[in-house]
Structure 1
Amino acid sequence: MDDWEWRAWVGHPAGRKLGAAFLVTPTTLVTCAHTLHGLDEARVGFPGLLEDLPASVVARGGWDRAGDPGDVAVLELHEPVPYAPARLAGPADLPARTAGGHAFTACGFPNRKDDGERYASVTTSPHQRMRREWWELRTLPGHWLEEGFSGSAVHDEATGEVIGMVTNAELGRDRRASLGWMLPISRMRLYWEELDDLLPLGWLTSPARRELRTLLDGVPFTAPLARDLGAVTGRPPVEAPRSAWDSVRLVAEGFPEDRLTRYLGTLGRHLPGPRRHHLDTWTARHLRPAPGPPRADTASALASLIVRLERVTFGNAFDVTVHTWIDGAEGPSQRTERVRERQVRTAVETSVARSLHAVVDRDWMIEFAVPETWLSKPFETWHVDRVKKIAMRKYPVVVRDVDRLRPDSIRRDQARLRWRLLYERGRSEPQRIGCDDTRKGAEFQDWLEANDDYCVLVYGCRPVRSRLAAALNNGVPVMLWTRTACDAPDHATCRNHRLLDDLAAAVEREHPGDLPRVALALRKKALSAPHDQPHCGRDLTLLWDDPSRLPDPPLAMEV
Structure 2
Amino acid sequence: MTGLRGAEWHARVECGGTVCGAGFLVTGNTVLTCAHVVDNGDLGPVTVTFPQRPGEPPVTARVVADGGWDVGHGTDFGDLAVLELDRDMPITPAVLAPADTAHSDRELFAYGFPTGHTGFGTQAALHAVGPMLVGGEWIELEARSAHGQPLARGFSGGAVTFVDTGEVVGMVTAAAGANSVHTGRMMPTHVMARYWPALSALVPVRDGWHGRHGRGMARAGAAYVAGAPTWDLGRAPGRNFGGAPDSPAPIHLPGHPDGPRLRALVEKAARARLDCDPVRLYTAAAGPFDPLPPPEGFGSLWSAAWFVLCEVDDPDTVSRFADRLDGLLTAPPVAETGAILVELGHSGAGDDLVRVEVSAYSGGRRHPVPAETIPRARLKACVQDRIEDAFCHLTPGADELIAFVLPRDWLDWPVDRWEKGPDDDTPLGCVHPVVVTDHARRRSSTRHVLTSAWQHLDTRDGTRVRRVACSGTEDPKQLWLALVQSEAGLTGFAATPRSSRTRPHFETSLTAPAPVMVWSRRGCDPDRADCAGAADCPGTAFLDALDKLASGVPPARLPRRVLGLRQLAVADDGHWARDIQLLWDDPRRFTDPHATAVHTRSPVA
TM bracket, shorter-chain basis: 0.3 to 0.5
> Which protein has the larger Cα radius of gyration, Structure 1 or Structure 2?
2
Normalising by the residue count of structure 1, what TM-score does the alignment of the two structures yield? 0.46
More helix as a share of residues: 1
